[in-house]
Amino acid sequence: MNAPGVVAIGCNIHDQMVSFIRVVDTAYAGKTDANGVVTVRDVPAGAVTAKVWHPYLRAMKNEKALATANVGAGAVREAVTVELRQPSGRH
């Protein structure tokens, strides 16, 4: 893929098996751990809009934007609650 976006990869044998690859055009990205926590390091100081993406997020383009007024020299913590929809084709 030469542009940012989402690639869905499905299994030819098991319809319920699917995975997603999200391609972004920034070095400031990360994947949450098993507890839903992500750390993005070395973000330049200033206003930042962070985007949360999940394939089943109930939002436009499966994405939620979070505006942070100022990222300074210290750590900034943001808690995000998202609502997920039921994946199609699953029982």
Q: Is the pTM of this model over 0.85?
A: no
- pLDDT (0 to 100) of residue 21: 94
Percent with pLDDT over 90 in the chain = 51
70/73 Cα distance (integer angstroms): 10
Please classify residue 70 by burial: count the beta carbons closer than 10 Å to its beta carbon, then call 0-12 exposed, 13-18 middle and 19+ buried. Answer: exposed
The mean pLDDT of 68-83, rounded to a whole number, is 76
| 6 or 71, higher pLDDT | 6
The yes-or-no verdict on residue 71 having pLDDT over 80 is no
| 71 or 86, higher pLDDT | 86
Q: Which amino acid is at 86?
A: Q
Residue-range domain boundaries for the chain: 5-71
- pLDDT (0 to 100) of residue 10: 93
